[in-house]
Amino acid sequence: MKLKTTVFLRVCLLLFLAVPYGCSVSKYIPEDETLFTGAEITVDSEEEKRALTPVEQELNTLVRPTANSTVLGMRLGLYYHYKAQREKPGFLNKWLNKKIGEEPVYLSDVNTDRIEELMLNRLDNRGFFYSKVSTEIDSTKKYASVNYKAELPKPYTLEQWKIDKDSLPIYDEIELAMTDTKLKAGERFDLELLKYERERIDGHLKNRGYYNFNPDFLIFEADTNRYDNRKFDLFLRLKKGTPEKSIIPYTIDSIAVYPNYSIENDSLPQASEITEENGIQFIQDEEFFKPKRLEPYILFEKGQKYNSETARLTSNRLAALGSYKFVNIRFNEMDTSMVDNKGLLNADIFLSPLTKRSIRTELQAVTKSNGFAGPGIAVTYNNRNVFNGGETFSLTGNFAYETQLSGGDNAGLTSIAGGLKANLLLPRLVPFSPSRFNYAVPKTKISLGGDILKRSKLYTLTSFNGSFGYTWNANKFVYHELNPISVTYVNLTDTTEEFEEILANNSYLSSSFEQQFIAGLNYTFTYNELVDENKDRPIYVSTSLDVAGNTLSLLNGGKSTAFGLEYAQYAKADIDFRYYLKWGKESAVVSRLYAGWGIPYGNSSTLPFVKQFYSGGPYSVRAFQIRSLGPGTFSSDEDSTSSYFDQSGNLRLEANLEYRFPIWSYLKGALFVDAGNVWLTNEADVGEDESEESIAFNEQLTTEGKFGSDWMKELGVGVGFGLRVDIQSFVIRFDFASPLQVPYLPEGERLRTPFIDGGSGNLIFNFAIGYPF
């Protein structure tokens, strides 16, 4: 969708005039109050600046309260709060106060003595004993800020640490845990680190059978008497009076599973049948879940020592089956005397099922960057635990109608699409024996589906697809997806004379539609650090490999057909790398590099059309319409129906840089620059009976679209800004972009001034759901 610059500027002007720019709140501040405008902390120490950064950040968290927010120097929230307190505030001021209003924060609300006390306490915790904190208030008649100054002496540093142990066996485990300690000689005293060490030791002991242990039973004692140069020794021991049951290991004596437990009743079911599988009792009124299918997901066994990590992973695995809404594992101490300084536990696993069958209906409204828009509907039927082994069956039907809203030759084009897809998800590897993946449940996915797409004035495309594959998480960050069987058949029918003419004039496109039987395998590897919200510099890498036709060629002795159909042969790979530099709560700079290459071979001269790369659009180079870039410097008539098909390639390169920042509440902003294009690395075969027009077209496509040494001059480059409504990770995105380099213009004329040069094409509006990357 294109917006004229003049219209856009008028909208911005109206929004600008609607804001009370330069509005002052000073006249509303009561005579006996002073508005608090913020605080600043200065840290004076001999320590290096880098070493003090965490300390300064911690001190800043203690400054309370927070001053009223400002936008471009204006305190809009406070302004509308004051306006709403008037006798007749008016509807607009009342509404704005409800949405963005803020209570005033006065200097009288700031307790500087309490903040100084908290700062000194935190500095002691960080090893800076005997520090000094002073306060200075900088004020005028109506406004005041507070300056805190912290003077830090040389910190106390660790000389050595030691375990003060006796003959109790638990001390041997504590000593083993301390082999991985972060306590190092020369490091300054840090109370948070000592707390972390206690928690870490507690985790180690809980994984070694010490069910009743608690980190509060450990105590660190610092001794400074041996030194006079701010050094100390550290001693670790158990507190006096630690309960006896907390210092002995526990063994699992029995395991009982309730596969059909009702959380509403919160009482044990009176089961008519108890089944035992590998030492585990399964108690259920009727067979809701087959014991032999459920048993492999339970990672602990009778006779093993209690292990909290194993219990947690078991809970995660059972929840990942997709059949249960609640998983509760309870360990109960047996009422028996301790034997050989060991205790016994009974393990009860309560599983509360999800509703087995469900139907979900979605009404959709679609707006695409290629100008198509229209309504749609999707209905999904789900059956969880369909074969009583955690299997999930889903059946989805969808229907959509779209029409072309843009002008030119494309005006009035319509598209009708419908499809039916069935998925069967098995929480195990088939046909392999059950595997004990400790981190997550591996899954087998079987899919079958069919789709029909009818485009007026062009063609009808019917497709059938099926796949068999596996998905699994190797750990928190690594995800694998392997489909050893992936089959697609596409049948092109009801082609119009106009579309036949397009194919006749473009042998490259014609070749890509000839081989519509695709059979092969594909694999995707993903490494995603974004799942760890504590990482300030996470990376994301996803790479995939798609290979088709090799098995069919081998089975058919190299013949170009299988089952009477000509099949495609190609290899295609891509990689998507992203680096996130985050600071604060919501600000980040995101960089992305993408590269993809497909190579046809054997009885294929081009990639199938559905496997080709394209560039432009809301998830690519946003300053250009979808499929409007490339290949290379090639340009198709944008009002021509054929342009949608001409502008694709078998090589794609792309780079993006985006700065994301908060504006207010759920509203976020972004500034970005995108660059990319697609190219051809092979030439389509031109038959002897090709027309002169077709030969000329293919020569032009090959000349302008071929990848070469000047590829950087052929990049489509654009800049822009965006607004995003982000509500609990559901993102509605509006991006405004303008070209900086247009590759299909003559060389020497490709650079332009964004948002100014280019007439009506200097502003591209993108509407999308979700972030672009």
Q: What is the pLDDT of residue 96?
A: 84
> What φ, ψ does residue 285 adopt, rounded to 5°?
-65, -45
Question: 507, 686 in Cβ contact below 8 A?
Answer: yes
Reported as a pLDDT band with limits 50, 70 and 90, residue 10 is: very low
The predicted model gives 187-209 an average pLDDT of: 95
Distance (Å, whole) CA 146 – CA 65: 11
Collect all residues with Cβ–Cβ distance below 8 Å to 255 and sequence separation of at least 6.
279, 280, 281, 298, 300, 301, 302, 346, 347, 349
Residue 212 neighbours by CB distance under 10 Å = 19
Rounded CA gap, 381 and 311, in Å? 33
User: pLDDT-based confidence at 593, cuts 50/70/90?
Assistant: very high
- Separation CA 13–CA 4 (nearest Å): 15
Is residue 642 a contact partner of residue 506, using CB atoms and an 8 Å limit? yes
Closest of 655, 594, 628, 632 to residue 708, by C-alpha: 632
Q: Are 246 and 214 in contact (CB under 8 A)?
A: yes
The predicted pLDDT at position 643 comes to 56
Residue 6 has pLDDT above 50, yes or no: no
| Comparison of pLDDT for 759 and 676, the residue scoring more | 676
Cα–chain-centroid distance for residue 365?
24
Ranges 180-184, 454-458, 556-560: which has the least confidence: 556-560
* Closest by CA position to 202, among listed 158, 242, 253: 242
Burial of 83 (0-12, 13-18, 19+ CB in 10 A): buried
Element (H, E) at 768: strand 764-769
Query: Quick one: pLDDT at residue 120?
Result: 96
Q: Which two tokens stand for residue 356?
A: 């087995």
**Residue 627 DSSP code:** T
Using a 10 angstrom Cβ sphere, with 0-12 exposed, 13-18 middle and 19 or more buried, the burial of residue 233 is middle
State mean pLDDT over 399-414: 70
State how far the Cα of 325 lies from the Cα of 47, in Å rounded to an integer: 52
Q: What is the 3-state secondary structure (H, E, C) of 323-387?
A: CEEEEEEEEEECCCCCECCEEEEEEEEEEEECCCEEEEEEEEEEECCCCEEEEEEEEEEEEECCC
d(CA 142, CA 222): 49
Mean pLDDT, the chain, integer: 86
> Any idea which of 205-214, 218-227, 250-259 has the lowest mean pLDDT?
218-227
Residue 15 confidence (pLDDT) = 40
pLDDT for res 46: 79
Token pair of 111 as six digits = 């307790």
Is a pLDDT exceeding 80 seen at residue 101? yes
Is 0.85 topped by the overall pTM? no
Least confident of 111-115, 188-192, 372-376: 372-376
Sign of CA dihedral 138, 144, 147, 148: positive
Report the distance separating Cα 502 and Cα 161, nearest Å.
Answer: 80
Per-residue confidence (pLDDT) for residue 274, from 0 to 100: 86
What is the band of 8 on the pLDDT scale with cuts at 50, 70, 90? very low
Give CA 745 to chain center in angstroms: 37
Give the containing element (helix H, strand E) for 14: helix 5-18
What gap in Å lies between CA 618 and CA 743, rounded to an integer? 19
**Strand spans (E) along 385-537:** 392-404, 414-426, 443-455, 459-473, 478-493, 517-528
Neighbours of 59 (CB within 10 A): 21
Question: Model confidence at 21, in pLDDT bands (50, 70, 90)?
Answer: very low
CA atoms of 118 and 137, how far apart (whole Å): 18
Segment among 108-112, 203-207, 515-519 with least mean pLDDT = 515-519
Give the other-Cβ count within 10 Å of 504's Cβ: 16
pLDDT tens-digit map of 292-337: 999 999 999 999 999 999 999 999 989 988 899 999 999 999 875 5
Contacts of 440 (CB under 8 A, 6+ apart): 316, 317, 320, 472, 473
Nearest to 498 by CA among 415, 413, 417: 413
Q: Per-residue pLDDT averaged across 647-655, rounded?
A: 93
CA distances from residue 187 to 120, 127, 191, 497, 735 in whole angstroms, order as listed:
20, 10, 12, 80, 49
In the chain, % of residues over pLDDT 70: 89
Find where tokens 């250009």 sit. 624
Rg (CA), the chain: 34
**Position 16 confidence tier, pLDDT thresholds 50, 70, 90:** very low
Mean pLDDT for 449-458 is 89
Q: What is the mean pLDDT of residues 720-746?
A: 91
The answer, yes or no, to whether the previous bond of 631 is cis (omega within 30 of 0) is yes
CB 208 within 8 A of CB 169: no
Backbone angles phi, psi at 91, to 5 degrees: -65, -45
Q: Rounded to whole angstroms, how far apart are CA atoms 311 and 385? A: 23
Q: What is the pLDDT of residue 545?
A: 97
Tokens of 457: 């004035």
H/E stretch holding 115: helix 112-125
pLDDT at 507: 67
Is residue 152 within 8 A of residue 128, CB to CB? The reply is: yes
For residues 255-270, give the mean pLDDT: 78
Give the other-Cβ count within 10 Å of 712's Cβ.
11
Residue 403, SS3? strand
Tell me, what's the pLDDT at 523?
97
Strands 250-258 and 716-727, by their bridges, are unpaired
Model pLDDT, residue 638: 53
Within its chain, how far is the Cα of 707 from the centroid?
33
Max mean pLDDT range (94-103, 529-538, 725-734): 529-538
Q: Do domains 5-151 and 250-353 have the same CATH topology?
A: yes
Distances (CA, A) of 92 to 12, 26, 72, 81, 98: 20, 21, 21, 12, 10
pLDDT attached to residue 267? 61
Q: How confident is the model at residue 493 (pLDDT cuts 50, 70, 90)?
A: confident
Q: How many CB atoms lie within 10 A of CB 86?
A: 11
Q: What is the DSSP letter of 245?
A: G
Which of residues 446 and 27 earns the better pLDDT score? 446
Q: Over 80: is that where the pLDDT of 410 sits?
A: no
Q: What is the pLDDT of residue 666?
A: 87
Sheet containing 132-139, strands listed edge to edge, beginning at the edge strand earlier in sequence? 35-44, 143-151, 132-139
CATH of domain 157-247: 3.10.20.310
For residue 202, name the pLDDT band (cuts at 50, 70, 90): very high
* Amino acid 31: pLDDT: 87
Q: Reduced to 3 states, what is the DSSP secondary structure of residue 467?
A: strand
Distance between CA atoms of residues 657 and 717, nearest Å: 11
Which pLDDT score, from 0 to 100, does residue 730 have? 84
**In the prediction, which pLDDT does 314 show?**
93
- Residue 445 or residue 757, greater confidence: 445
Give me the torsion for CA of 45, 50, 51, 56, rounded to 10°.
70
Residue type, 384: R
211-220, 341-350, 399-408: the lowest-pLDDT one: 399-408
Residue 7 has pLDDT above 50, yes or no: no
CA-CA distance, 39 to 733, in Å (whole number)?
35
Architecture per CATH, domain 5-151, reads as: Roll (3.10)
**Residue 11, pLDDT score:** 42
- Provide the CATH number for the domain formed by 250-353 in this structure: 3.10.20.310
Q: 2: pLDDT confidence band, cut at 50, 70 and 90?
A: very low
> CA 475 to CA 472: how far, in whole Å?
9
Angle between helices 91-100 and 76-84 (to 10 degrees): 130
Whether residue 79 is predicted with pLDDT greater than 50 in this model: the reply is: yes
* Residue 254 predicted with pLDDT over 80: yes
Model confidence pLDDT, tens digit, residues 426-436 = 998 888 765 55
Decide if 343 contacts 249 (C-beta within 8 A).
Answer: yes
DSSP state of 743: T
**Mean of pLDDT values over 167-172:** 91
Contact in structure between 566 and 514 (CB atoms under 8 Å): yes
Q: Are 202 and 214 in contact (CB under 8 A)?
A: yes
Q: How far, in Å, CA of 380 to CA of 419, rounded?
A: 12
Domain assignments of the chain as residue spans, ordered by start: 5-151, 157-247, 250-353, 357-433+441-464
Say whether pLDDT at 586 is over 80.
yes
